[in-house]
């Protein structure tokens, strides 16, 4: 938790309590449903919470914004972002129902009221639109953009604050991305997370942003 507070200091008492609860909650859930590598559970705040919050360090979202987390797994990046942005709604989608049980359990335990879940394959979501799609290490960029683009609604620029990015896809990726980006046919804006967080874990980890 100290690692999160090293970079983010303007938390309310409620947010501090919610973040502090995550370690025990994920440790407990992981014993029932394995959603985090067992060797990583002791590094939860660095490898999962802080990694997710890289998006919060790079982007600001307006209150009332709707975000879908595609292939959310056990809740990353959506759960940490939902704590950070209590006025933003996060719709957590995964094709594996037992992972969504973890998301629902964690969200309920920490008192998140801005999280909903949907058991579905991404390509089967037909009836919902969002301002942003977020994802972490789920699929190649080409697939994320193909799945995510139809879900992104266009918003009136006049209603969006200057700090908020245009609607689009925001994903966390790692490694050499040149081939993946070329194959996607997109031209993402790329932020190196090592320029935000100094820990060695974040070397060769990036935020890719593709506006619609």
93 is in an annotated binding site: no
Q: Is 71 annotated as a binding residue?
A: yes
Please tell me the distance from the alpha carbon of residue 92 to that of residue 71, in angstroms, as a whole number: 8
Res. 156: pLDDT tops 80:
no
* pLDDT tens sequence across 75-131: 999 999 999 999 999 999 999 999 999 999 999 999 999 999 999 988 888 889 999
- Residue 42, judged by CB atoms within 10 A of its CB (0-12, 13-18, 19+), counts as exposed
Average pLDDT for the chain: 94
For residues 44-53, average pLDDT: 97
Place of tokens 């985090």: 36
Does the annotation flag 136 for ligand binding? yes
- Cα separations in angstroms, 60 against 56, 139, 163, 179: 6, 24, 6, 29
pLDDT value of residue 102 = 97
- 123 annotated binding-site participant: yes
Q: Using CA atoms, how far apart are residues 7 and 168, in angstroms rounded to an integer?
A: 25
pLDDT band at 145 (very low <50, low <70, confident <90, very high): very high
Tell me the percentage of the chain whose pLDDT exceeds 70: 99
Q: Which is the CATH superfamily of the domain at 2-211? A: Vaccinia Virus protein VP39 (3.40.50.150)
Find the farthest-apart pair of alpha carbons in the chain and give their distance in angstroms, rounded: 48
Residue 122 marked as a ligand binder: yes
The domain spans of the chain are 2-211
């Amino acid at each position: 938790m100290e690692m999160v507070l090293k970079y983010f200091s303007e938390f309310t008492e409620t947010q501090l309590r919610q973040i502090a609860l995550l370690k025990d909650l994920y440790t407990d859930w992981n014993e029932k449903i394995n959603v985090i590598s067992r060797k990583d559970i002791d590094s939860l705040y660095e490898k999962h919470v802080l990694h997710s919050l890289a998006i919060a360090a790079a982007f600001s979202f307006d209150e009332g914004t709707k975000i879908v987390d595609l292939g959310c797994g056990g809740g990353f990046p959506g759960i940490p972002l939902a704590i950070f942005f209590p006025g933003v709604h996060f719709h957590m989608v995964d094709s594996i129902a037992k992972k969504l049980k973890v998301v629902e359990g964690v969200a309920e335990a920490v008192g998140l009221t801005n999280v909903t879940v949907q058991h579905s394959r991404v390509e089967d979501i037909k009836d919902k639109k969002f301002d942003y799609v977020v994802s972490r290490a789920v699929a190649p960029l080409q697939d994320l953009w193909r799945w995510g683009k139809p879900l992104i609604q266009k918003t009136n620029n006049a209603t969006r604050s200057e700090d908020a990015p245009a609607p689009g896809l925001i994903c966390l990726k790692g490694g050499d991305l040149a081939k993946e980006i070329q194959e996607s046919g997109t031209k993402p804006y790329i932020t190196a997370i090592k320029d935000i967080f100094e820990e060695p874990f974040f070397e060769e980890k990036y935020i890719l942003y593709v506006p619609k």
